[in-house]
A and B are shown apart, each in its own frame.
Chain A
Amino acid sequence: MSHRIVNALIICEDIWKVYRVGDVEVQALRGLHLTIRQGEFVAIMGSSGSGKSTLMNILGCLDQPTKGQYRLNSIDVGHLQPDRLAEIRNEQIGFVFQSFNLIPRTSALENAQLPLFYRGLPLKEQKSLASAALRRVGLGGREHHSPTQLSGGQQQRVAIARALVTSPSLLLADEPTGNLDTQSSQEIMEILEELNREGITVILVTHEIDIAAYASREIVIKDGQILSDRMTKGRSQVVEA
C-alpha cells in the first residue's frame, strides 16, 4: 500500500448555500469542508433535501456558493462570471445525468461532439475525437444512431462519451444508473470504474449502496453538512489515502 502524493483537485472551505424562498431562508449547505484529490472515485450519498444536489451543482460550476471558497484545480471558482464558468465546465468537467439528457433527434456522434463544438474545434477534429470517445464506451459503429434508436444503457454511454470527449479532470455523475436496469447499471459503473482507473476523478451521487460500493470513498451528507467521510475498500486500486 503505497502512499502516493496526489494534487488536490477540489478544495471546499466553509461552503454555504442559502436560498430565499419567499420569506423563508433555506440553508442548503452549512459550512461544508471537502477536499478531493486527483484520481479519486468518490460517492456522495444522502437523502433528498440533504444538500447533495446543491453540492453537485457547486462542484460542477453550475452554481456558486453564497459564502466560502471553492477551488477547482486551484482556480477560485466562487466569483467568476457566467461565461468564464461555462469555459471551466467545458474544459474541466464532464457531466453524466440520471436522465441522460441527450439532444433529441441528433445522432450519437453529434451529441458526443457537443462540448467540442462550443470549444470551437474544427469539425474534422470534433468528429474524430467524438467517435474515439464513443468507441471507448463501446459504441463504435453506432455513431449515426439517434437517442430513440438506442437502449437506456446505450444512451447513458453516449452521455459518458460526451462527458469524456474533452478529457476533463473531473467527471460528475448524478445518479447515472437511476433510470437503468441492473444489467445496464452494472455496465455503466464498470465504464466509470475503468475511466477512473485511467486517471479521471469521478464523483458519483447515488442513494443505492451497491452502486456507491464501486467508489473508494464514501461521503454522506445530511442537513447541508458532511455526516461521514470514509474510505471504503472499493474496487479501485489507484487511490489509497
Chain B
Amino acid sequence: MPTFVWLTVMTALRVLARNRLRAGLTMLGIVIGVGAVIAMVSIGEGAKQAVQTQIATMGTNVIMIWPAATSVGGVRGAQGGAVTLTVADAADLKKKIPVLSDTAWMKRDILQIVNGHRNGNSPVNGVSPSYLSIRDWTFSKGGSFTQADMDSAALVALLGQSVVDELFDPGEEPLGSVIRIRNVPLRVIGVLSPKGQSTYGQDQDDVVFLPFTTAERKVFGTPFLGSVGGLYAATEQAEDMPEAVEQIREVMRSRHRLQADQPDDFTIRTQVELGKVQEGTSQTLTVMLMAIASVSLLVGGIGIMNILLVSVTERTREIGVRMAVGAKRTHILIQFLIEAMTLSVVGGCIGILFGVLSARLTTVIAGWPTIISGDTVATAFGFSVAVGLFFGLYPANKAARLNPIEALRYE
C-alpha cells in the first residue's frame, strides 16, 4: 500500500505538471483562500494582542472604584459627579480586605503647566505613592516620590514622556528643572517610561503626577480635605479579583452607611471588564475576516472539484484500462483523491507563503500589528487538505464507479 500511495502521488504530480496552466489556475483558488485566511487571522490576532497590551498598561489585577452618578430629584448627573470617596476609604479597604495587596487614591485636574517660555495643558494627577506601583508605571529617568514627600507635601513632580516632549527642548534635561503649575514651582524628580495609547485612544503619557498632599493642599485646592477622584486596589492573584470586588462593595456600603434598598454611591470596575469589551470587538473582527476568507477557500474547493470532473471525463478510457488490468475501485478512488489533495496541498503551501508575506506587508505598509501563529498556519494547512479531500470525493467516487466496459468503449 505505501508503494501504491507513493507511486500514485508521483503519477498525480506528473498529471498536474502536464497541465501546468490548468493546475495553476485551479490552485490559485486555494492559494488565495489559504493566503486570505492566514493574512486575516494574523491581522485579527494582532489587533487582539494590541488590545491586551493596552489593557496590561493599566497595571496588573487592578480594581477601580469611582464615585457614582448623583441623582437629584430623578435627574441623573454624570458619573463621578458625587464626591463620596475619601482617602480614609482607601486606608480602610486595605485594612479590612486581606486579599488586597495594596490600595491607592488619586485626584485629577487639567491644568496649565509652564516651563520657562513654554507651556501646555495636561492632566495633573495627585496620587498616593502606591498608585504608581499599582498601575505599573516605571521610570526612564529619576524615580518616584516617597512617603516623606507625601507627608511633607513636597514640591516635586513626575512627568510623562509626552509632557517632557512638549515642555522641553530636545536635549534639555528635564530632571532637576523646575516647572510651574498655578504658579507653584515643582521640581521634576522623575520621567515616566512611555505607555502609549489607552484602550480609549488617549495618550497615557500626557500626564503629570504630584504627591496627593501636594496636589490637594498647594495646587488644586479643595473644599473637602481627603476627598478623592478615584480609588484603586490590586490583588496578588487574578483569581482573587471577583471576591475582592464583592468585599470592596460590602466594606464601601457599610462605610457609606447605605441601606439595603439604596443603590451604590460608587462604581467598581476591573481591568478585566474593560478589556472584555475591547477584546469582544476584535474577536468579532477576527471571526468576520475568517468567514470572508473561508468563502474564498470554498470557491477554491469548487474549482478543484470542477477540474477533477473534467479530468475524470477526459481520462475515462484510461480509467477503463486501469480497471481492466486489475485496479480496484479503491485504487481509482485514491488516485483521484490524491490528485485533488495534491492540488489543494500544493496550493495550500503556496497560500501559506502568500499569507505570511501579505501579513508582513500589512505590518510594514499600514503599520498594523500582525501575529502569525503556528496554530493559524497549521489550521490553514489542515483546511486545505480537508478541502481537497471533501471536494475530491465526489469526482473520485464518480471515477471509481465507472463501468469498465463502458469506460473502455468511451470515445
Contact B321 A103 (CB under 8 A): yes
Contact A118 B331 (CB under 8 A): yes
Q: Output the least CB separation between B13 and chain A (Å).
A: 13
Kindly specify which of A87-95, A136-144, A185-193, A201-209 makes contact with the partner chain. Answer: A87-95
Partner of B317, one of A62, A82, A101: A101
Inter-chain CA distance A89–B322, complex, in Å, is 11
Q: Output the least CB separation between A1 and chain B (Å).
A: 37
Find chain A residues with CB under 8 A from B322 CB: 103, 114, 118
Instruction: Name B366-410 residues within 8 Å CB distance of A.
Output: 404-405, 408
Q: How large is the interface on B (under 10, 10 to 19, 20 to 34, 35 or more residues)?
A: 20 to 34
Find chain A residues with CB under 8 A from B18 CB: 105
Find chain A residues with CB under 8 A from B408 CB: 62, 97, 101
Inter-chain CA distance A57–B408, complex, in Å, is 11
Contact B7 A123 (CB under 8 A): yes
Inter-chain CA distance A83–B323, complex, in Å, is 10
Annotate A92-123 by CB proximity to B: 1 below 8 A, 0 otherwise: 00010100011111000000001101111111
Find chain A residues with CB under 8 A from B4 CB: 117-118, 120
The A-B contact count (CB < 8 A) is: 65
Instruction: Name B9-61 residues within 8 Å CB distance of A.
Output: 14, 18
Inter-chain CA distance A172–B328, complex, in Å, is 20
| A60 lies within 8 A of chain B by Cβ | yes
Given A101-B321, A105-B18, A118-B3 contact (CB < 8 Å)? no
Inter-chain CA distance A16–B122, complex, in Å, is 102
Partner of B326, one of A103, A119, A123: A119
Given A62-B324, A87-B326, A101-B321, A120-B1 contact (CB < 8 Å)? yes
Contact B405 A118 (CB under 8 A): no
Given A62-B404, A123-B3, A118-B325 contact (CB < 8 Å)? yes
Q: Output the least CB separation between A154 and chain B (Å).
A: 18
Inter-chain CA distance A117–B5, complex, in Å, is 10
Find chain B residues with CB under 8 A from A120 CB: 1, 3-4
Q: What count of chain A residues pass the 8 Å CB interface test?
A: 29
Find chain B residues with CB under 8 A from A103 CB: 318, 321-322
Find chain A residues with CB under 8 A from B405 CB: 57, 62-63
Inter-chain CA distance A210–B240, complex, in Å, is 101
Find chain B residues with CB under 8 A from A63 CB: 405
Inter-chain CA distance A87–B404, complex, in Å, is 14
Q: Who on chain B is nearest to A89 by CB?
A: B326
Instruction: Name B315-339 residues within 8 Å CB distance of A.
Output: 317-318, 320-331
Find chain A residues with CB under 8 A from B329 CB: 82-83, 86
Inter-chain CA distance A48–B124, complex, in Å, is 105
Inter-chain CA distance A114–B7, complex, in Å, is 11
Find chain A residues with CB under 8 A from B317 CB: 101
Inter-chain CA distance A162–B324, complex, in Å, is 11
Inter-chain CA distance A204–B322, complex, in Å, is 21
Find chain A residues with CB under 8 A from B1 CB: 120
Q: Output the least CB separation between B327 and chain A (Å).
A: 5
Contact B325 A122 (CB under 8 A): no
Given A105-B18, A117-B4, A90-B404 contact (CB < 8 Å)? no
Contact B325 A90 (CB under 8 A): yes
Inter-chain CA distance A162–B330, complex, in Å, is 21
Find chain B residues with CB under 8 A from A117 CB: 4, 7
Q: Output the least CB separation between A173 and chain B (Å).
A: 13
Q: Who on chain B is nearest to A91 by CB?
A: B326
Q: Who on chain A is nearest to B18 by CB?
A: A105
Find chain A residues with CB under 8 A from B325 CB: 89-90, 95, 114-115, 118, 162
Find chain A residues with CB under 8 A from B328 CB: 82-83, 86-87, 118
Q: Who on chain B is nearest to A56 by CB?
A: B405
Q: Output the least CB separation between A121 and chain B (Å).
A: 8
Given A101-B408, A105-B18, A118-B331, A60-B7 contact (CB < 8 Å)? no
Find chain A residues with CB under 8 A from B3 CB: 120-123
Partner of A118, one of B318, B320, B326, B404: B326
A-B contacts, 10 listed (Cβ < 8 Å): A62-B404, A62-B405, A87-B328, A104-B318, A105-B18, A115-B325, A118-B4, A118-B326, A118-B328, A123-B3
Interface residues of A (CB under 8 A from B): 57, 60, 62-63, 82-83, 86-87, 89-91, 95, 97, 101-105, 114-115, 117-123, 162, 166
| Apart from A62-B324, A83-B329, A103-B318: 18 A-B pairs, beta carbons within 8 A | A57-B405, A62-B323, A62-B404, A82-B328, A86-B323, A89-B325, A89-B326, A90-B326, A95-B324, A95-B325, A114-B321, A114-B325, A115-B326, A117-B4, A117-B7, A118-B328, A120-B3, A120-B4
